[in-house]
Amino acid sequence: MEASDFERWSSLWDGYLSFYRQEIDEAVTRKSFDDLVAQREGMFGLVAVGDDGSLIGFTHSVIHRSTWAAGTHCYLEDLFVAPGGRGGDVGRRLIEETKQVAGSRGAVRLYWHTQQYNGRARSLYDRVGSLTSRVLYESDLT
């Protein structure tokens, strides 16, 4: 992911947010993009580029320490493939590249989550990862 990708990336980002029925302030979106590009605080972003030069997918990840391992873990926070790029191997290739980058930076585990209803993505995730019994809880701090 490069700074020059912002306009093309933001179109995909809007599609991703729409899928999850979320709205994020433009300032947060810009800061997140800038942090991904600059690879600040363990963050990094990858993009998939179509044959015509358009962006067709992305991953956003964060490498962080873990109390459960000597090495770090990598949280794949966001993965999105544009509708025209789905059904092929774009998502799988983005995950594999994320694994490679995370491993090269010392991570010993890659993990992610998705919505239970996201059947299309889960069919891929069942092939490239292992479903756990973990349940996710959240609590806003503001």
Q: To 10 degrees, the CA torsion angle through 56, 29, 105, 130?
A: -60
pLDDT digits (tens, 9 = 90+) for 49-105: 999 999 999 999 999 999 998 989 999 999 999 998 888 899 999 999 999 999 999
What gap in Å lies between CA 68 and CA 56, rounded to an integer?
35
pLDDT computed for residue 130 by the predictor: 94
Closest C-alpha among 126, 134, 137 to residue 68 = 134
pLDDT bin (cut points 50, 70, 90) of residue 136 is confident
Confidence (pTM): 0.92
Average pLDDT over residues 119-139: 91
Cα gap 43→64, rounded to integer Å: 9
pLDDT of residue 132: 92
**How confident is the model at residue 86, as a pLDDT?**
87
